[in-house]
Amino acid sequence: MHIAIAGNIGSGKSTLTRLLARHYGWKPHYEQVAHNPYLEDYYRDIKRWSFPLEVFYLKERFKDLLQLQKQQEDIVQDRSIYEGVYVFTANNHDLGNLDDRDFETYMELFEDMTDVVRYPDLMVYLRCSVGHIEKRGRSYEEQMPLRYLESLNRRYEDFITKQYQGRVLIIEADELDFLANPSDLGFITDKIDRELFGLFPDK
């Protein structure tokens, strides 16, 4: 079984991945993209190096996904290749860092790659407002421009509701603190159980 956790920066993806792994006995998997050899060039000239930088990340995430799907263990994954493409690379294109020709070539490559792999059995999307992210108060998130986080939120909504074709469970996360409150974590696991195993039917 392959479960993916999706959500904006600061939504709690890594925390939920760890808690679900402990609750269900699943193996947690965190993104392990190698150091990108284009990174220094990218920061010197973003528009010139965006395409090779994004293709390198795509290649590494695809290799990672192939390895995941060969494993016999149940996996819960923090961020999938799909949001890397539909949210972050698409946002880079929106910002003008990838021109239309490069982005179309990139998307064709991505679609050819993902034709040979399966969607996760379930994607759990932590939907939260930018205000919720701000309340978490993590230092690296506080340094990010509000407009950037808002643009990612819009991209996530488009990704989840219009582009992604796999099975999705949307969790409204603004009022949840699943790290501090076991009942909030239980609320999420009940929903996952219902989706995966048909337990706790709605009355």
Instruction: Supply the residues annotated as catalytic.
Output: 78
In Å, the largest CA–CA distance within the chain is 58
Structure tokens, 153: 């939120």
CA distance 89 to 58: 9
What is the DSSP secondary structure assignment for residue 198, as one 8-state letter?
Answer: -
DSSP-assigned beta bridge partners for residue 171: 126
Nearest in space to 126 (alpha carbons), one of 157, 148, 150? 157
158, 93 Cβ separation under 8 angstroms:
no
Question: Residue 43: CB partners within 8 Å, gap ≥ 6?
Answer: none
d(CA 78, CA 15): 9
Burial label for 150, CB within 10 Å (0-12, 13-18, 19+), is: middle
Spatial neighbors of 90 by CB under 8 A, at least 6 apart, are 103, 155, 159
Nearest to 82 by CA among 149, 15, 146, 168: 168
